[in-house]
Amino acid sequence: MAETAPTVLREDDRDPVLRLVGVRKCYNVGTPIEIEVLHGIDLEVGPGEFVALVGPSGSGKSTLLNLLGLLDRPTDGEVWIAGHATRQLGDVARSRLRGQVLGFVFQFHHLLSAFTALDNIQLPRWAAMGREDDEVRARALDLLDAVGLKELAKRRPKELSGGQQQRVAICRALIHRPPVVLADEPTGNLDTETSAQAFSLLRRFNREFGCAFIIVTHDPSLAEGCDRVIEMVDGRIVEDRPGRAPRLD
Ligand SMILES: Nc1ncnc2c1ncn2[C@@H]1O[C@H](COP(=O)(O)OP(=O)(O)O)[C@@H](O)[C@H]1O
Ligand SMILES: [Mg+2]
């Protein structure tokens, strides 16, 4: 099966790549333990923005990211991704859109242990295309080169350090040059120095590829290095301001 040509065309390059309008999210709907964890979120993220999402544990950051990533549906409100309203979309259309316009980096890399670093990066494309592809392989090798791991391309995840595994996961998120990358505590499992390296890698890809990033982080110094810092408390956005750190990179 040939890879379907991207159907995601934005009318205007300045249009937001992500837009939430009046988004509420309840868990356990219709049961005695129903709980509303997002209380009407409005948010726009423009092309190429590098955004930190901060806030205490339980404030709703992962819930918000899951909605933006089309991994879950809002109870109320609309989620726009790259110009597409997603509320009415069925599961097949949602996963196609997800595969075309979104990249994900998680705290735990979720690399498949039976595959090499190089193959882990290519797997999402193989799945989308239904076959292996030389161009995808070349791009995966370029990405590994960019993150300093080309020599380790044939290693399996367990033969790599935690920081190296996370760099492979970052390459995997970027293999299809998505306009938006969502990262939920991508450095949460790494030591300070390795975190800073992984973070500057995200920043570099943001500059080179122009993809927007939303990065959940607990580390204030990393958050302040972003273009924009959004703070959530108890399911609401309480602050939305520019990062304070001067850009050193
Ligand atoms: N699947 C779920 N079912 C019920 N409650 C949930 C579920 N996922 C998260 N929650 C609750 O929603 C709130 C927000 O959680 P979460 O989005 O994970 O916050 P954060 O990522 O900021 O720590 C918390 O009170 C959490 O307990
Ligand atoms: Mg979380």
Question: Does ligand 1 have an atom closer than 6 angstroms to the CB of 62?
Answer: yes
Residue nearest to atom 2 of ligand 1 (CA): 27
pLDDT tens over the chain, length 249 residues: 444 444 444 445 668 999 999 999 999 999 999 999 999 999 999 999 999 999 999 999 999 999 999 999 999 999 999 999 999 999 999 999 999 999 999 887 789 999 999 999 999 888 888 888 899 999 999 999 999 999 999 999 999 999 999 999 999 999 999 999 999 998 888 888 888 888 999 999 999 999 999 999 988 889 999 999 999 999 999 999 999 876 655
The answer to the question of residue 97 being in a domain is yes
Residue 33 lies in a domain: yes
Å from CA of 235 to ligand 1 middle = 10
90 falls within a domain: yes
For atom 27 of ligand 1, the residue with the nearest CA is 58
Long-range contacts of 229-233 (CB under 8 A, 24+ apart): 229/51, 229/52, 229/54, 230/43, 230/51, 230/52, 230/53, 230/54, 231/54, 231/55, 232/53, 232/54, 232/55, 232/59, 232/60, 232/61, 232/64, 233/55, 233/56, 233/59
For ligand 1, atom 26, which residue shows the shortest CA distance? 58
Ligand 1 atom index nearest CA of 59: 22
Cβ(217) – ligand 1 distance below 6 Å:
no
**225 domain residue, yes or no:** yes
Is there a domain that residue 9 lies in? no
Q: How far is the CA of 62 from the centre of ligand 1 (A)?
A: 7
Expressed in angstroms and rounded, the spacing between residue 240 Cα and the centre of ligand 2 is: 19
- The answer to the question of residue 234 being in a domain is yes
Residue 95 inside a domain? The answer is: yes
What's the 68 CA to ligand 1 centre distance in angstroms? 15
**Strand locations in 69-199 (E):** 76-81, 84-85, 102-106, 180-184
Which residue's CA lies nearest to atom 7 of ligand 1?
A: 27
Residue-number span of the structural domain to which 43 is assigned = 18-242
**Which ligand neighbours the alpha carbon of 60 most closely?**
1
Alpha-carbon gap, residue 41 to 64, rounded angstroms:
9
- The finding on whether 59 has its CB within 6 A of some atom of ligand 1 is yes
Q: How far is the CA of 166 from the centre of ligand 2 (A)?
A: 18
Number of structural domains the chain divides into: 1
Q: Which of 27, 234, 236, 237 to mutate to test the pocket of ligand 1 (most atoms within 8 A of CB)?
A: 27
Whether 190 maps to a domain, the answer reads yes
| CATH code, domain with 132 | 3.40.50.300
pTM here is 0.91
Say yes or no: CB of residue 27 within 6 Å of ligand 1: yes
